[in-house]
Structure 1
Amino acid sequence: MPVFLLFFAVWMILNGKVTAEICIFGVLISAALFYFMCRYMEYSLKKELLLFRLIPLFIRYFGVLVKEIVKANVCVLKIILSPELQPEPAFVYFDTDLRTGLARVLLANSITLTPGTITVSVEDDRFCVHCLDKELAEGMETSVFVKLLKEMEDMEAKWTK
């Protein structure tokens, strides 16, 4: 029902005033949009509840992402400020067993958001990542990102059965 309530809230905000007619019409339009989503866009209350169950994992994932960005910033800063450290750029290829496209996209974007690494390509389960230094590429296929994304996929698989 949160999507229905979101539709109704947007309707009320865009109207700018509250009257009985606007509320009734808003409920009807929100219900029609919700029905359309359920009927033609493969949306369901079950999927909506799954999103609520995944919120703690998304929050944890975001926290880990921020932590990894800070750590990567420190590594890149050391490379920049230390004249004796010579970076060894490298292309790293690794395979992952993430099942969904969304998980692969989240992983690719998370890698790209961390300084010193950029996802060059993703083909099926194979990632190609360019790293500013070989040290930044260590353990990428078993990173905390992959573990959290697998946990999300497992929860989704259990919930959608």
Structure 2
Amino acid sequence: MYLILLLLWFIFSGKITLEIALFGLVICSWLYWFMTKYMDYNVKKDIALIKKIPLFLLYGVTLVCEVIKSNLAVIRIVLSPGLECEPTFTTFQTDLKTEVARVTLANSITLTPGTYTCGLEGNTYTVHALDKKFTEGIDESVFVKQLRKLEESV
């Protein structure tokens, strides 16, 4: 977090001089100390986030790959006039523990073309899909598996 604060300091400063750099180091150090003392933040959280960076990157790559695959599937449906699609609503539940993981899953489903998360209540999702085959195995998708790994690696 300290490095992020320092990076933001340099970005918003506009230029880097010795005085600005030293003043930034002091201000960011004080702000980091304040966060750890009064805002229930600690260095262990920083270390845990740094350890999770490969998992976050893997999730991002997986999301991009799934968006591309879904784009190709939707293009195939749109450009094939004889191909019948069966729009459907599906509900399913997950065992994701954190609200952040559940919302990330809902947003990932919505980002992939052909599916839209209509509702999220607790662990129950309601998804509208352009075709029935888009919802096959959605409750144990690659998104769910990777979000579980992110939750476990605390």
Q: Normalising by the residue count of structure 1, what TM-score does the alignment of the two structures yield?
A: 0.88
Q: 1:33 to 1:87 in 2, by over 3 A?
A: same
Match of 2:49 in 1: 51
Amino acid at match of 2:129: C
Paired-residue identity, %: 46
Please state whether the residue corresponding to 2:153 is helix, strand or coil. Answer: helix
Deviations 1:46-84 (CA, angstroms, capped at 9, x unpaired): 111111111111111111111111111111111111112
Do the aligned partners of residues 152 and 9 (structure 1) sit closer, same or farther apart at CA in structure 2, a change above 3 Å counting?
Answer: closer
- Relative distance call for 1:121 and 1:9 in structure 2 (3 A) is same
The residue that corresponds to 2:95 in the other structure is: 97
Q: Paired residue for 2:110?
A: 112
Q: Which consecutive unaligned segments of at least 5 residues does structure 1 have?
A: 157-161
Residues 94-147 of structure 1: CA distance to partner in whole angstroms, max 9, x if unpaired?
A: 000000011111111110110000111110000111100111010000001000
Distance 1:123 1:40 in 2: 33
Matches within 5 A, 1:1-161: 3-13=1-11, 14=13, 16-20=15-19, 22-156=20-154
Runs of 4+ in 1 over 3 A off after TM superposition: none
Measured in 1, the distance between the counterparts of 2:140 and 2:10 equals 47
What CA distance in whole angstroms lies between the structure 2 residues aligned with 1:79 and 1:44?
A: 50
* Normalised TM-score (structure 2): 0.91
Asked if the contact 1:120/1:130 (under 8 Å) is kept, the reply is yes
Unaligned runs of 5+ in 2: none
Aligned residues: 153
